[in-house]
Amino acid sequence: MILVIGASSLSAHRRDELLQAARIGVAADRIELEMSLTPGIAVADEVIGAIDRDGNGVLSAEEQRDHAALVMAATELRIDGEVVNTGVGTATYPLLDELREGDRSIELRSTVTIPRLSAGRHEIAFTNGYRRDISVYLANALKPDSERILIASQHRDPAQHTLAIDFTIDGNRFASLPVWLFGSGAAAWLVFRRHTLPRIG
Amino acid sequence: MDTRLGYAAITVAAVAALAVTLPAQRTAPASNQADTTTRIVKAAQDVVAAVDGPARAKLVFPFESPQKTNWSNLPSGIYKRNSLKIGDLTAPQRAAVMKLLSAALSADGYRKVVDIMHGDEVLKRGGGGRGPAFGEDEYYLAFLGTPSAATPWMLQFGGHHLAINLTLAGSQASMTPSLPAAQPAKFEWEGRTVRPLGSENDKAFALVNALDEKQKGQAILGSRVADLVLGPGQDGKTIQPEGIRASSLAPAQQAMLWDIVREWSGIMADSFAEPRLAEIKSHLNDTYFAWSGPTTNGSVIYYRIQGPTLVIEYAPQKSVDHIHTIYRDPTNDYGKKIAAR
C-alpha cells in the first residue's frame, strides 16, 4: 500500500454528511475501484476521530492504513457472483485541518486482478456499507478503455449503496470495425479483380 | 481502361470510409473567431498594462503551470487562490478586468457571471458562513501563458461558486472545465429578481416533462444522485453515459436539450460558442440526458447531459437555493486538444 500524505482531491463543500463517491473501472483482467470520501463540516470531527485513534492531532501512516482497510472491509465487490478481495492499493489522506474544513477528500484506490474474463456477458456488483449512519453515496462505472467491453446497464439501490454493472466482452477483435467498411472494401476489390483478370476467349 | 476503373472503385471506397470516420467539423467564419480573439487579447493586454509589478506576478503564470488546476467552487478562506484578487484592484484596474470578461464571454455569459458574483455579495451581506470570505471582491483572475493570438494561453477567472477556465489557441477556444454555481439561487438585486441558474433549472424541468412515459423510463435514474460526479478534482475521468439518447428524442425535444446545453456552451463569446454547440450536436446518437428526482419544478433534482465531448451536471446541494454545476469536455479539458495543434 502506498500512502501519500498531504495531497488530496478537492470537492464541493458539504456540511452534515460524509459523501462517499465510488467509481469502478472495468477491464477483462482487472477491476479498478476508486473511492473518494469527503466529510462535511458537521461530521468531520467524527470521521477524524475514527482515523486519529490516539487523538494526537496527527494522522499517522499506520492510522491511515488501518482506516483505509476499515473502509474497504465495509465494501464488497463481486464478479459474476463471486466475491473478490478489494484490499487497499493506495490511500491519500489530507492534512487534518484540511479534512476538518469539510472540503477535502480521502482518496482510496484498489486494483483487483482477476482471471481474464471470457467473451460474453458478465456482472460486477459493488456494495458500500461504510458509515451508512452519516453518509450519502455516489456509485458509477467508468467508461471502459477497451472498445471490446460494452456496459449494457447500471443498476443501483435508491441511495446508491449498491451498484450492479452488466457488461459484455466481445471476443471478436474486429467486431469494433463497422460492417460497411468491410463491405465497401470487398466490393471495391471485386470490381478491381473483375476488370484486371485477363479475358478468356 | 479497365484497370483505371478498378483503381477508381478502390479510391471511392477509401474516400467514403474517411469521409464518415472523420469527425464533423462545422465552424463559424474564421474571421469572426479571429476578431474575437483579437479583442480578448487586447483586453487582456490592457489588464496586464494596468497592474504593476507585484500585482502582475499574481496575474501571469506559465501556460503549463500548477495554477491551471488551481480552481474550485469553494469560498476564500477555505480555498486559497494564488492569483490576482479583484478586490485588491483600483477602480480603473477592476474596470479593465470586467471589460476583458465582457470581451471573452457572450452577453448572456457575462450576465451569468456577474449575477453569480452578485449572489455571493448577497451571501456576504446576509452574514453567511463562518471563516470563509464571501462577496464580489473575492474573485480572482489569472493568465496562464502570454495573451496572444498566436500561441495558446488561458484566462482563468473565479471564486466562490464560479470557475471559468477559458483556453485560447489562435482562433479556437475551449471553456472546459468550468463551474457555474449559485447560492442563493434567487435573490433581489437593484430592484430585479435574479436567478443566476434559473434557465438551467427551468429548461430542464420543461424537457423532462416533455418526455412521454417510455422516454421518462429511459431518462430517469432510479436512485438519488447526491452531488456532482465529475466536480472539482475529478479531471481526466469519463463515466459511463446513462439516460435517454438524444437520438431517441423528438426534434422538438432535441431542440430543448440543445437549448439547455447552450446555457453552458454559450457562456463564451458567440463566435466560439456556435461551433462548440455544432460539435456537441454532431454527436446526437451518443449524447444522453439523465435525470434523478421528482419532475415538479421546485424540487431538488439532479441531471446530466453527456456526450463524447460533453459533460454537464446540475446538482443542487440538498436545497434548491444552493446549486453546483460542472461543464467538461473529456477530449479537450484545459484546451489540451486545441493547444496541441
Cβ–Cβ pairs < 8 A, chains A and B = 113
Nearest-10 crossing angle of helices B270-281, B30-50 = 130
| Alpha-carbon distance values, B287 to A141, A142, B248, B280, B306 (Å) | 17, 16, 10, 8, 5
Per-residue pLDDT tens for B77-88?
Answer: 888 899 999 999
**In this structure, is residue B22 part of a structural domain?**
no
pLDDT average, residue stretch A70-97: 94
Whether residue B292 sits in one domain with residue B207: yes
Q: Which residues of B touch A103 (CB under 8 A)?
A: 74, 78-79
The DSSP secondary-structure symbol of B79 reads: B
Is the CB of A191 inside 8 Å of chain B's CB atoms?
A: yes
Minimum-distance CB partner of B240 among A141, A185, A188 = A141
Sign of the alpha-carbon dihedral angle for B26, B31, B32, B37: positive
List B residues 156-215 in contact with A (Cβ-Cβ < 8 A).
none
Q: Is B10 helix (H, G, I), strand (E, B) or coil?
A: helix
A184 vs A148: which has the higher pLDDT = A148
**In this structure, is residue B129 part of a structural domain?**
yes
Instruction: Check CB contact under 8 Å for B226 and A155.
Output: no
The DSSP secondary-structure symbol of B145 reads: S
**In this structure, is residue B299 part of a structural domain?**
yes
Grid coordinates representing A172? Answer: 471478436
List A residues 74-113 in contact with B (Cβ-Cβ < 8 A).
101, 103, 105
Question: Where a domain ends, among B136, B165, B188?
Answer: B188
Instruction: Check CB contact under 8 Å for B79 and A10.
Output: yes
Q: How many CA atoms lie within 13 A of B313 on its CB side?
A: 25
The DSSP secondary-structure symbol of A173 reads: T
ipTM value: 0.87
Bridge-based pairing of strands A135-141 and A18-26 is parallel
Per-residue pLDDT tens for A55-77?
Answer: 999 999 999 999 999 999 999 99
B232 vs A10: which has the higher pLDDT = B232
pLDDT average, residue stretch A71-84: 97
Q: How high is the pLDDT of residue A97?
A: 85
Grid coordinates representing B273? Answer: 460558442
Measured between alpha carbons, how far is B96 from B13 in angstroms, rounded to an integer? Answer: 55
Question: Where a domain ends, among B146, B165, B188?
Answer: B188
Is the CB of B12 inside 8 Å of chain A's CB atoms?
A: yes
Q: How high is the pLDDT of residue A189?
A: 61
Going by C-beta distance under 8 Å and a sequence separation of 6 or more, which residues neighbour residue B207?
A: B253, B256, B257, B260, B289
Whether residue B127 sits in one domain with residue B97: yes
Whether residue B63 sits in one domain with residue B89: yes
Phi, psi of B175 (to 5 degrees): -115, 35
**In this structure, is residue B236 part of a structural domain?**
yes
Per-residue pLDDT tens for B34-43?
Answer: 999 999 999 9
Task: For residue A99, give how far its alpha carbon lies from the nearest alpha carbon of chain B (Å).
Answer: 11
**Mean pLDDT over each residue of chain B, to the nearest integer:** 92
Q: How high is the pLDDT of residue A178?
A: 53
Whether residue B207 sits in one domain with residue B139: no
Instruction: Check CB contact under 8 Å for B73 and A138.
Output: no
Question: Where a domain ends, among B162, B188, B214?
Answer: B188
Q: How high is the pLDDT of residue B276?
A: 97
Measured between alpha carbons, how far is B310 from B291 in angstroms, rounded to an integer? Answer: 16
Q: How high is the pLDDT of residue A197?
A: 53
**In this structure, is residue B13 part of a structural domain?**
no
Per-residue pLDDT tens for B119-139?
Answer: 999 999 987 555 678 999 999
Whether residue B255 sits in one domain with residue B209: yes
How many domains does one find in chain B? 2
Whether residue B146 sits in one domain with residue B49: yes
Grid coordinates representing B248? Answer: 431517441
pLDDT average, residue stretch A16-41: 95
Whether residue B290 sits in one domain with residue B318: yes
Whether residue B60 sits in one domain with residue B174: yes
Domain span including residue B171: 30-188
Measured between alpha carbons, how far is B113 from B163 in angstroms, rounded to an integer? Answer: 9
**In this structure, is residue B1 part of a structural domain?**
no
Nearest-10 crossing angle of helices B107-125, B91-104 = 130
Residue position matching grid coordinates 463559424: B28
Q: How high is the pLDDT of residue B128?
A: 58
Whether residue B208 sits in one domain with residue B164: no
Measured between alpha carbons, how far is B83 from B66 in angstroms, rounded to an integer? Answer: 12
Q: B306, B287 in Cβ contact below 8 A?
A: yes
**In this structure, is residue B23 part of a structural domain?**
no
**In this structure, is residue B75 part of a structural domain?**
yes
Whether residue B313 sits in one domain with residue B276: yes
Whether residue B225 sits in one domain with residue B169: no
Instruction: Check CB contact under 8 Å for B2 and A195.
Output: yes
**Regions in chain B scoring below 50 on pLDDT:** 1, 7, 10-11, 13-26
Per-residue pLDDT tens for A104-141?
Answer: 899 999 999 999 999 999 999 999 999 999 999 999 99
Measured between alpha carbons, how far is B286 from B289 in angstroms, rounded to an integer? Answer: 10
| Least confident stretch, A38-52, A179-193, B303-317 | A179-193
Whether residue B307 sits in one domain with residue B246: yes
